[in-house]
A and B are shown apart, each in its own frame.
Chain A
Amino acid sequence: MKVDQVLDAKGLACPMPIVKTKKAMNNLEAGQILEVQTTDKGAKSDLTAWTKSTGHTMLDSKEEDSVYTFYIQKG
């Protein structure tokens, strides 16, 4: 997967992962892919709901050593 931008939101607490993701998304073009890394346990539900509501697509996500990584394509 070709990632256009990586956002490191590790260590940040609610609501910052979503706020930062939104900001990063603003700078991307439709179709580009953002990788978001976070350690917030609520992030999986949060980012999944957020991408759905805002018209983006969650392509993939994974968890490794309590770091959650998400790949979101801008809609």
Chain B
Amino acid sequence: MTEQKKRTTIVLFSGDYDKAMAAYIIANGAAAYDHEVTIFHTFWGLNALRKDEPLEIKKGFLEKMFAKMMPRGADKMGLSNMNFAGMGPKMIKHVMKKHNAMTLPQLIEMAQEQDVKLVACTMTMDLLGLQQEELLEDIDYAGVAAYLADAEDGNVNLFI
């Protein structure tokens, strides 16, 4: 095929369940549109890529605190609105089940199946004390230049 594929790039900055869901729904939709899709995870958005099991990793005190306070994986993230100290996510997951909507972990799996490129920002990984072993398999590690290289010929570019 000589025709260049269209490209969608999304920066996922937010660590909110609902915002991450929106990002991943758009990413999956774009992949179905045959776009090359990149989601660049930075700051709180990195938590969507965390594995949910606790891991024994050598860390400094501050990094350990961060690791404890941040949600361990997509399923544990809170809502941007009506979180109600954790009741909100329970309610919305119940409603999602009723409407047969996909959960965030399912959307992430579907995105990987559709070859969406998931990228973790290495600079913010350092800031938040996250290490590669704590994040999902088969993701890329990069910085702003790699993101811009994808985004500069992007047809759709979002910051969430």
In the complex, whether A21 has a CB less than 8 A from a CB of chain B is: yes
Per-residue contact bits, chain A 9-29, to B (CB 8 Å; 1 contact, 0 not): 001111110110110000000
In the complex, what distance in Å separates the CA atom of A18 from the CA atom of B27?
12
Contact A15 B28 (CB under 8 A): yes
Contact A11 B100 (CB under 8 A): yes
In the complex, what distance in Å separates the CA atom of A11 from the CA atom of B32?
19
What is the number of contacts between chain A and chain B, taking CB atoms within 8 Å? 33
Contact A19 B32 (CB under 8 A): yes
In the complex, whether A53 has a CB less than 8 A from a CB of chain B is: yes
In the complex, what distance in Å separates the CA atom of A14 from the CA atom of B32?
12
In the complex, what distance in Å separates the CA atom of A12 from the CA atom of B34?
21
In the complex, what distance in Å separates the CA atom of A22 from the CA atom of B99?
22
Of the candidates A12, A13, A18, which one forms a contact with B32 in the assembled complex, judged by CB atoms under 8 Å apart? A18
Per-residue contact bits, chain B 3-34, to A (CB 8 Å; 1 contact, 0 not): 00000000000000000000001001101111
Query: Could you give 11 example pairs across A and B, Cβ below 8 Å?
Result: A11-B100, A12-B100, A13-B101, A14-B101, A15-B29, A18-B32, A19-B31, A22-B31, A22-B33, A50-B33, A53-B33
Binding site for A on B (CB under 8 A): 25, 28-29, 31-34, 99-102, 110, 114
Binding site for B on A (CB under 8 A): 11-16, 18-19, 21-22, 50, 53-54
